[in-house]
Chain A
Amino acid sequence: MTTHQYAQPMLPWLLAGTLDDADLAAVEQHVAGCAQCQADLAWQRQLRAASAPPASGCDADRALAALLPRLGAQAPRVGMLARWRNAVAANDAWLRWAAGAQLAVIAALSLLLLRPAADTDYRALGAAPPSGSVVVTFRPDTPEREIRRILQANNARVVDGPTVTDAYVLALPATKTAAAIKRLRAEPAVTLAQPLTAGDHP
């Protein structure tokens, strides 16, 4: 096999920068002295630059909203408490993410947390939420600092969320949950505040 026959098929990956070190050294060395491979590379460079697929008009929010109900029926069997522990452990990461996330409350909230069936669901998973847990959603245009102010005013800690519907699970001081929910519901920015604790449903 000549070097040209070895190098020629590799040119696309030389151009894309994905050859491993051994290939790279051999192919580069050949190309340096081969006018035909150089011409081929120049041609491929034009092709690559002009062939980037156009934007498709796909919408991540729309597609994800269509997918989420399908997850529910087939979710891995993991208790809510375990999920919350994970969420708290990953707190920093998701807070940074949440700050950048678009706040858009979608009516499909019921699909995720509040539907009575879903409620039954996670009790069937064996973990009752801790007392003082509340699901809250905010108006889509609520600034992050306003959300923070509301949380601080109520001694609330975020333990999960935002979900795709921008619902947050808050931990509130257990003895003052009812009063805090009242205050939360009185906030203009809060569109929904609902206790999660078993037996605490209105």
Chain B
Amino acid sequence: MHGSVDASDARLVGQVAAGDRQAFERLYRGYFPRLTRFLNGMTRSVPLIEEIVNDTMLVVWQKAHSYDGSCKVSTWIFAIAYRKACKAIKGLDDPVDTDPDQFEGDICFDPVHELDQHRLQRAIGAALEDLPPAQRAVVQLTYHHDMGYADIAAVMDCPVNTVKTRMFHARRRLRKLLADQLEEGS
């Protein structure tokens, strides 16, 4: 869906493979906001986020020549970022093996009925942080990075069904955590 963007991304990666620092800077600046937004959902530490972005882009610099165009540039870069993030925040649970109900009752929101938008966002932020990182990543990539489930499977290097399962568990968990904050559709 971002055809032209991805074509110019691919051209930049080609230039980076030839050692073009300007192309690298453009790619870096182009991806910085997207990667920090993604990583901000994975970890709230600014220095850690910048470090993960840099570890990611260092791999892009070193491995640009190995990018073969078989997936989108964004998929390739997010996959590197996801692996770096998992490494950085260690102890990543595999949500497929995680019983989502084991967290039952960990968090209890006050039943406030007239939350303003800011408080709602905080509540949702807290609920998202309560998810295992892999589920959080799926939610973010789906809702805020416009990735289809196949792209996400490529980013997370897992089967498509695992992506759907993670999203399913995440939705179920969020629905419980946010029962007081979000109206049930009718």
Contact = CB atoms under 8 A, between A and B. Distances in A.
By DSSP majority rule, is chain B's interface helix, strand, loop, or mixed? helix
B146 A54 contact: no
A51 B143 contact: yes
Contacts of A50: 117, 120-121, 124, 182
Contacts of B29: 60, 64
Q: Which of B22, B26, B39, B41 has the most CB of A within 10 A?
A: B22
A31 to B, nearest CB: 12
A51 B36 contact: no
B20 A70 contact: no
A20 B160 CA distance: 14
A197 interface: no
- Interface size on A, as a range, is 35 or more
Interface string B69-85: 00000000000000000
A186 B25 CA distance: 31
A53 B144 contact: yes
B174 interface: yes
B178 A67 contact: no
A164 B125 CA distance: 35
Interface string A91-105: 000100100000000
Contact of B54 (A9, A44, A46, A66): A66
Contacts of A63: 32, 50, 53-54
A62 B185 contact: no
B26 A97 contact: yes
Contacts of B13: none
Contacts of B65: 76
Interface residues of B, number: 63
Q: Which of A16, A40, A58 has the most CB of B within 10 A?
A: A58
Given A56-B46, A67-B54, A70-B54, A40 B121 contact: no
Interface in A11-32: 12-13, 15-20
A51 B186 CA distance: 21
A42 interface: yes
A17 B100 CA distance: 27
Q: Which of B121, B125, B175, B185 has the most CB of A within 10 A?
A: B185
Kindly list the 10 A-B residue pairs having the minimum CB-CB distance in the complex, ordered from nearest: A42-B185, A78-B19, A39-B185, A18-B148, A76-B19, A56-B40, A63-B50, A58-B36, A60-B32, A9-B164
7 contacts: A41-B185, A44-B171, A56-B39, A57-B46, A71-B24, A74-B61, A82-B18
Given A19-B148, A86-B18, 11 more contacts: A10-B164, A16-B147, A18-B148, A42-B186, A43-B185, A51-B125, A56-B37, A60-B33, A74-B58, A76-B62, A87-B22
Interface of B: 1, 15, 17-26, 28-29, 32-33, 36-41, 44, 46, 49-50, 53-54, 57-58, 61-62, 64-65, 117, 120-121, 124-125, 128, 139-140, 142-144, 146-149, 151, 164-165, 167-168, 171, 174-175, 178, 182-186
Interface of A: 9-10, 12-13, 15-20, 38-44, 46-48, 50-54, 56-60, 62-64, 66-67, 70-71, 74-78, 82-83, 86-87, 90, 94, 97, 160-161, 163-164
